[in-house]
Amino acid sequence: MGEELGSSASASTATSSSQAKTRSIWPSTLRWIPTSTDHVIAAEKRLFSLVKTPYVVEQVNIGSGPPGSKTRWFRSKSDEPRFINTVTFQSKEDSPTLVMVHGYGASQGFFFRNFDALASRFKIIAIDQLGWGGSSRPDFTCKSTEETEAWFIDSFEEWRKAKNLSNFILLGHSFGGYVAAKYALKHPEHVQHLILVGSAGFSSESDSKSERLTQFRATWKGAILNHLWESNFTPQKVVRGLGPWGPGLVRRYTTARFGAYSTGEVLAEEESKLLTDYVYHTLAAKASGELCLKFIFSFGAYARKPLLQSASEWKVPTTFIYGFDDWMSYEGAQQARQHMKVPCEIIRVPQGGHFVFIDNPTGFHSAVFYACRMYISPNLETEHLPEGLTLA
């Protein structure tokens, strides 16, 4: 069981403030939506009981908005400081720093199967993006793709400044890969290497594969779903709308996705129970970062500002990692590589889907170690690709 070593002063301040706001005269069992930010943090701690590596939890203060900007996080009614929930794992001295960024509808606890193995080679820092997990959840009032990207990129940069980090390896999963790539395009001087896991954002509606989606959208079912998407009707709203029945829906999803329909290593009973509890509370808490969806992607998860268009501007060496059964196609990464002027590898991991780091953690760890071989062991830069992995 991992030991929580302690937390900073900012963590205690943020937690007490959070508790003051989320307490209710009603016990959680009597609320329509039985959750709060406190529940998210408590569920995270329970999930991390499965991790053996000691860690520190912080609520890192990023202020109320970008310096020099009249914009708060983000046109919120309040000027109060915002916080990024951050977990740092104990590591060996001089280990390279690996910052891990979760995807849409997730939080940093989704990497619970990876922390122990990765902490043997890296200084691991995992965050909840602004508006997700145990981080602050300010009112989300962005009105454009540009504002929405700034919400995530600028808040991450303020977090980086607060942590005084530079020259780190940045790993992002799915939507977190999109954010990590956009951040590296804007601030390449801080990123040593970029690892994009099942990254979203490399395809657009102009792609030939979107033809079937266009045809579906012309049907009455497609028209309804497209309208819901453009109305920013998120999956989290379904979970909240079900009230006390929401946990049951989440339980059925996690049991199916990481159990009966898993492409790799199924979750143990305790893992499934704790992950389900954690996922419910992160999804059902106040809507904030989730409302980015329609501004970043059009219906069908096609990027409104595809990363492929910026591939020629890439300045950071990059490794793409995809599960063999990932619904996010690696072909977009192949197209991007043709335009990149920096080293780029695409690694495919067997027995893994979109959550390859949960489906096949051993294969995923091997892929990350291989991607970072020159930082972990400079003398082994020519190390052979681990068995089972393939290069695309």
Taking only the tens place, the pLDDT of each residue in 45-102 is 999 999 999 999 999 999 876 655 555 555 555 677 899 999 999 999 899 999 999 9
Taking only the tens place, the pLDDT of each residue in 169-191 is 999 999 999 999 999 999 999 99
Section 110-138 average pLDDT: 96
What is the rounded CA–CA span in Å between residue 301 and residue 304? 9
Architecture category of domain 32-391 in CATH: 3-Layer(aba) Sandwich (3.40)
List phi, psi (to 5°) of 195: -120, 115
Tokens of 305: 């500002």
Q: Is the pLDDT of residue 371 over 70?
A: yes
Query: Cα 178–171–84 angle (5° rounding)?
Result: 85
Task: Region of 3 please: left (phi>0), alpha (psi -120 to 50) or beta.
Answer: beta
Predicted structure pTM score: 0.90
Chain center to CA of 348: 19
Other CB atoms closer than 10 Å to residue 9's CB: what's the count?
10
Nearest to 332 by CA among 181, 211, 212, 204: 204
Helices (H), 256-377: 269-284, 293-296, 331-339, 356-359, 361-371, 373-376
For the ranges 192-201, 267-276, 297-306, the lowest mean pLDDT is seen at: 297-306
